[in-house]
């Protein structure tokens, strides 16, 4: 692997790690707990929080993830 490829991979990993850290912060850290799309409560009531990744990603409040 060339040096430039290693640098690029390290830069990408740094960004991903930073975003994961932000997403996993506890509620008391000041993170806003909210749904990002409409229909989240209905999706949650139908059990989609347990089966659909995209629902968990965009419906954190209704799914009880924050």
Which pLDDT score is estimated for 59? 97
Q: What is the pLDDT along the chain (66 residues), one digit of tens a residue?
A: 454 555 556 656 566 455 544 555 554 456 789 999 999 999 999 999 999 999 999 999 999 999
CA distance 3 to 63: 43
Which pLDDT score is estimated for 1? 46
Which pLDDT score is estimated for 12? 65
Q: pTM for the full model? A: 0.52
Q: For residue 60, count other CB atoms closer than 10 A to its CB.
A: 20
**Is there a contact between 48 and 55 (Cβ–Cβ < 8 Å)?**
yes
């Amino acid at each position: 692997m060339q040096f430039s490829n290693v640098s690029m991979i390290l830069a990408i990993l740094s960004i991903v790690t930073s975003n994961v850290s932000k997403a996993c912060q506890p509620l008391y850290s000041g993170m806003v707990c909210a749904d990002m799309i409409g229909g989240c409560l209905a999706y949650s009531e139908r059990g989609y929080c347990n089966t659909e990744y995209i629902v968990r990603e965009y419906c954190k409040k209704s799914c009880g993830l924050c």
